[in-house]
Amino acid sequence: MKSIGGEWVSNESAQAFLSAAEKAGFEAYFVGGCVRNALLGLPVSDIDLATNARPDDVVALAKGLGFKPVPTGLDHGTITVVGLQAVLEVTTFRHDVETDGRHAVIAFSDQLEVDAKRRDFRMNALYADKSGKLYDPTGGLEDITAKRLQFVGNAQERIREDYLRIVRLFRFAAQLGFGAKGLDAVALQASGRLSYGLGHVSRERKTAELMKLLSAENPFEVLQRMRDCGVLHRVLPGASLAVLERFLQYEDDVHPLARLASLTFYTDTNQLRLSNAEKAAVATLKSFARSGCSPEVFAYRHGAELALPAVSVSSAVYGDAPSEPVQEKMRWAAKQSFPLAAQDLMPRYSGKALGDALKRAENAWISSGFTLGKQALLDEE
């Protein structure tokens, strides 16, 4: 059986917990993303463990090591164990007793093979013991080699257990760098056929998956497949891949919210659950194309972090690539600071008149190309 290594395998907190579980007569393994990413040569950020120890036993094992157990997902058998060197997500082997496409009633199990059968994709059902020895009960290693996403067992059954798995299929294909070629034909067919079920999934969960997809380096071909099988329309009705495609040609760095603004330029984001700050950012990113404002003024008003991608969104809408001289002017304008403050005009104005005077002075300063100094502005007033 193949073995794997890495800093996550030798992590002291993980090793301490796995050894303690073994000493107490339990089985415990690394599982899921840490194993998958390591095999794909990708960074490992989270350490998940699976065990036949029940949650109460996990809590006892953690306390015995001086770690802090937190019952973050007790209904699903998950205990977050805060160790000295890492935070571990420890979940008891389980299987689904009843599901409605959103929530599941689970029962605990003593067998790794039973736990593997209820996971979403075969490459997420890979386990490794404390020495790094791999266990592959579903064929995940084959999918790692082929860079292919395939559901565990029957695709339609896995989807009906949780319809969000449809969006996760596309998210993983983009995020892991597999692209459209990594989408298994059976998985695609089942996802399209059952996409109506996404109406039962919360906006929060769909939004989280979509934003991860839009954070991938090259999401476009995956989004095309998502559109072609009818899934994208279920998540974002009216989405425009044409605008997004042009935007991706212009962006300098990955900017998920700007990508979302491009994708939804001719529609809205009401199907998603964004924070107020995210909603405001998307609105600002769309606004430049409709404002008639000069790039420099827009950059001064909103800062380069939003203004530069907003110009790229506008360019994607109208089909004219942003020029480097314009972008340089925007970076410069974003750094400019209005030389007057309210107190400079207080001897002459107060209340609303003070605000109006400040606004007139700022407009004059902007019209001068941000060149008028403090005294010149005061003289004009």
Tokens 């979940």, located at residue: 91
Signed CA dihedral, 70, 73, 77, 83: sign only: negative
**Bridge partners of residue 261, in order along the sequence:** none
pTM for this structure? Answer: 0.90
Instruction: Please report the pLDDT score of residue 101 as a whole number.
Output: 54
Q: Residue 321 — pLDDT band, cuts 50, 70, 90?
A: confident
Instruction: Please report the pLDDT score of residue 324 as a whole number.
Output: 86
Instruction: Please report the pLDDT score of residue 378 as a whole number.
Output: 87
SS3 content of the chain, % helix, strand, coil (to 5): 55, 15, 30
**Neighbour count for residue 350 (Cβ, 10 Å):** 12
Instruction: Please report the pLDDT score of residue 171 as a whole number.
Output: 98
Structure tokens at 186: 């059976």
Q: Residue 322 — pLDDT band, cuts 50, 70, 90?
A: confident
Furthest-apart CA atoms within the chain: distance in Å: 85
Mean pLDDT score across all residues of the chain: 94
Average confidence (pLDDT) over 350-360: 91
Average confidence (pLDDT) over 145-159: 97
Q: Are 282 and 257 in contact (CB under 8 A)?
A: yes
Average confidence (pLDDT) over 143-168: 96
Instruction: Please report the pLDDT score of residue 73 as a whole number.
Output: 81
Number of helices and strands in the chain (H, E): 21, 9
Alpha-carbon distance of 35 to 57, in angstroms, equals: 24
* Cβ-based neighbours of 380, under 8 Å, separated by 6 or more: 361, 364, 372
* Cβ-based neighbours of 109, under 8 Å, separated by 6 or more: 52, 92, 93, 94, 95, 115
Q: What Cα–Cα distance (Å) separates residue 301 from each residue in 73, 276, 309, 363?
A: 44, 19, 14, 12
Alpha-carbon distance of 67 to 108, in angstroms, equals: 23
Instruction: Please report the pLDDT score of residue 348 as a whole number.
Output: 87
Q: Specify the 3-state DSSP secondary structure of 360.
A: helix
Structure tokens at 183: 């989408």
Tokens 């059976």, located at residue: 186
Instruction: Please report the pLDDT score of residue 173 as a whole number.
Output: 98
Alpha-carbon distance of 368 to 16, in angstroms, equals: 66
Instruction: Please report the pLDDT score of residue 104 as a whole number.
Output: 65
DSSP 94-117: EEEEEE-BS-EEEEE-S-HHHHHH
Q: Residue 74 — pLDDT band, cuts 50, 70, 90?
A: confident
Helix axis angle for 304-318 and 324-334, nearest 10°, is 150
Instruction: Please report the pLDDT score of residue 157 as a whole number.
Output: 95
**Tens digits of per-residue pLDDT, 9-49?**
999 999 999 999 999 999 999 999 999 999 999 999 999 99
**Architecture label for domain 150-235:** Orthogonal Bundle (1.10)
Alpha-carbon distance of 127 to 22, in angstroms, equals: 15
Instruction: Please report the pLDDT score of residue 292 as a whole number.
Output: 85
Alpha-carbon distance of 121 to 152, in angstroms, equals: 5
Q: Specify the 3-state DSSP secondary structure of 346.
A: coil
**Neighbour count for residue 218 (Cβ, 10 Å):** 12
Per-residue b/e over 322-340, b at no fewer than 16 CB within 10 Å? beeebbebbeebbeeeebb
Instruction: Give CATH for domain 1-146.
Output: 3.30.460.10
Average confidence (pLDDT) over 47-76: 94
Instruction: Please report the pLDDT score of residue 106 as a whole number.
Output: 75
Strands 47-51 and 87-92: parallel
Q: Specify the 3-state DSSP secondary structure of 366.
A: helix
* Cβ-based neighbours of 155, under 8 Å, separated by 6 or more: 184, 186, 187, 189, 190, 191
Strands, DSSP E only, in the chain? 28-31, 47-51, 68-73, 78-82, 87-92, 94-99, 104-108, 127-128, 134-135
**Tens digits of per-residue pLDDT, 102-150?**
666 778 999 999 999 999 999 999 999 999 999 999 999 999 999 999 9
The percent of residues in the chain predicted with pLDDT above 70, rounded, is 97
Q: Is the pLDDT of residue 89 over 60?
A: yes
Which of the residue ranges 21-25, 80-84, 320-324, 364-368 would you say has the lowest mean pLDDT? 320-324
**Tens digits of per-residue pLDDT, 196-249?**
999 999 999 999 999 999 999 999 999 999 999 999 999 999 999 999 999 999
* Domains in the chain: boundaries: 1-146, 150-235, 237-336, 339-381
Q: Are 300 and 334 in contact (CB under 8 A)?
A: yes
Instruction: Please report the pLDDT score of residue 31 as a whole number.
Output: 97
Instruction: Please report the pLDDT score of residue 97 as a whole number.
Output: 67
Average confidence (pLDDT) over 351-362: 91
